[in-house]
Chains A and B, each alone.
Chain A
Amino acid sequence: TVGCAVVDQKGQTACATSTGGITAKMPGRVGDSPIIGAGGYADDEVGAVSTTGCGEAIMKACLARHVATVMGTGQDAVSAIKNGLNHMESRINGFGGAIAVSCKGDVGMHFSTPRMPWAYVRLGKLHYGIH
C-alpha cells in the first residue's frame, strides 16, 4: 500500500491511497484503502490522513476518520495516529500505520508494524525513515 497526505499554503488538504492488497487474497476481496474514513480522509477543518496495514482491522476501526477526529480535538498529528493505532490494536488486535497532516501544517507518522517507509517535505527540507 502507498499513500499521501497534503496541506498547501492556503490550508487546503487532500489525501490519496492505493494498494494491490494482500498476497493470495480471495478474488473480489476489498480492503480498507478505497473506503472513506478507513483508508483515507481529508477535511480542511481538520487535516488529511492516509492509512496502511491490516485492511479488515482498519475498516472496523475507521482508522483514518478516527485519526482525523482526534486531530480535531487539538492533539498533534503523531498523538492522533498513536491514539488510532492503539485503539485498533486493543479492540481489534490489528496493526498498521498512518501518515497525517493537520490543516495548520502539523505533520506526523507512526506505525505498529515492524517498518513503514515514509518521507515528507516541509520548509523545503526532506525528512524520511523506515524503522
Chain B
Amino acid sequence: MVEPVVIVHGGAWAVPERLWSDSVDGVKTAALHGYEILRKGGSAVDVAEAAVISLEDNPVFDAGTGSVLTFDEQVEMDAIIMNGTTMEAGAVAAIRNIPNPVKVARLVMEKTPHVMLAGEGANKFAAQYGINEVDKDLLITPYAKEELAEYKKYTNAVYCLFNKTDNAKQMGHD
C-alpha cells in the first residue's frame, strides 16, 4: 500500500504580496478538497479533476474564473488531465468562456478517441455534453482587466518611442 498524496499548485510567477494570503488559502482548500475525495474512495482522476475545479473556481488564480485576457480581450483557456494507470489523456486548447476547462478535458479523454480538441471544436464538443459557454464577464476579474490595460498602455508607450523604425519589436524590447 502507498501513502496517498494530493498536491496542488496555483502557478509559478511573481505573485504580488496582496495576493499571497488568498493564493495560499486557495491551494490549501483545493488540496484538502482533493484529499477528502480520495479518503472517500474517489479515483486519482476524480481527485485531480476536483482539485483543479476548486482552483478554477477561485478568481485569485489564472484559470477558469480569473483567467487573464488575450490581446483581443477574450478568455481562451487550456487544460489537460491524464490517468497514469491507463495512460489515457484528454486536453482542450484555446477553449472560450467555459468555467471549468478541466471538465471538458476529462470528457475528451473518456468520450473520444482523441487527446486534444482546440478552439471552436472544443466549445462545440463541450456543448454536446451540456457544458455551454457563459458570458465572458462572469469569468473576467477586475484584476485581469487592469493587467491587460497596463500591458497595452506600456506597450504603446514603448512602441511610440520607436515608431519610425519599429525597432522596438526587432529589439525584443523588455
Interface of B (DSSP majority class): mixed
| Chain A residues closer than 8 Å to B81, beta-carbon distance | 14-16, 40
- CA A30 to CA B71, docked complex, whole Å: 14
Question: Which size bracket describes the interface of B in this complex?
Answer: 35 or more
A16-31 vs B, CB cutoff 8 Å, 1 = contact: the mask equals 1111111111111111
Select which of B30, B69, B78 is within 8 A of A23 by beta carbon. Answer: B69
B115 contacts chain A at the CB level, 8 A cutoff:
yes
- Contact, CB under 8 Å: A16 / B44: no
| Size bracket of the A interface | 35 or more
Answer whether A36 and B80 are a contact pair too, CB < 8 Å, given A14-B44, A23-B68, A24-B151: yes
**Quick check: B4 and A16 within 8 Å, CB to CB?**
no
Seen from chain B, the residues whose Cβ lies within 8 Å of a Cβ on chain A are 1-15, 20, 23-24, 26-28, 30-32, 34-35, 38, 43-45, 47-49, 51-52, 55-56, 61-64, 66-72, 74-85, 87, 89, 91-94, 100-102, 105, 115-116, 118-119, 144, 147-148, 151-152, 155
